[in-house]
Amino acid sequence: MLSLTKKSDAQPVAAPLWHTNFRNFERLPDTKVVRTTFFINTAAIAVAVGMLLWVGYREYTNHNIREQIAEAQRQIDANKKQNAEDIRLSKIFAEEQKKLDEAAAFTKGPITVLEFVDLIGQTMPKEIIIDNLDARVSDPKSSVFQMRGRVAGSPDQASGLASSYVDMLRAQPRLAAVFDPITLNRIDRSVDGTYLTFDISLNIKK
């Protein structure tokens, strides 16, 4: 017969160890070797230093740019004055060159102004007065001599004299060899009606 194990001989069941935890973790000191706040503060300082360095570099760069702009502006102002002086001298040179070209054309033309004036004086009738002589000889291929003057007498007589004078100029051998056409451009009556004014152009032959 098997013997029955007594209840008293069985191992007692261990009661769980339990007690109330009254610790306040937020108020307990940080017992780590390197505290968490150290890393946070270090990272914040590193970010702040990095921002300061970046701002300082930007300011240094901007300062250099402003210096370069100021130097460039000073050079522009200096060059502007020199350029204005060069332009002024260039205009003076162009004007003088134009005069020299006109003088060269004057000497190289088929007829000089002095010779032209001499011929006009030889062929001018006593009823005609020359008020103005203009020679545009800058281009030998398109040179024009212009005469403006007055004709005394009644309108019919003065008009006839002006036309006859143009025919006389066309018939003059030297003038006919140099000029073509010789044209009476206009003839107008004076305000008081005592004379007529005329305008004659003589174009150098091309």
48 and 63 in a single domain? The answer is yes
Whole-number Å distance between alpha carbons of 71 and 136: 51
158 and 137 in a single domain? The answer is yes
- Domain membership flag for residue 12: no
- Domain membership flag for residue 4: no
- H helices of 109-196, in order, are 113-123, 155-171, 173-178
120 and 46 in a single domain? The answer is no
Sheet harboring 144-152: ordered strands across? 128-136, 144-152, 195-204, 179-189
Question: For 15-44, how does the pLDDT look when each residue is reduced to its tens digit (9 = 90+)?
Answer: 555 556 656 656 656 555 555 666 677 888
Question: For 90-131, how does the pLDDT look when each residue is reduced to its tens digit (9 = 90+)?
Answer: 888 888 877 776 666 555 667 777 888 888 888 888 888 888
143 and 168 in a single domain? The answer is yes
- How far apart, in Å, are the Cα atoms of 116 and each of 41, 200, 202, 205? 105, 14, 11, 15
40 and 63 in a single domain? The answer is yes
Expressed as residue numbers, the domain containing 69 is 30-108
What's the confidence (pLDDT) of residue 183? 86
Question: For 135-185, how does the pLDDT look when each residue is reduced to its tens digit (9 = 90+)?
Answer: 776 665 667 888 898 887 777 788 888 888 888 888 889 888 888 888 888
87 and 124 in a single domain? The answer is no
What's the confidence (pLDDT) of residue 180? 84
Count: domains in the chain: 2
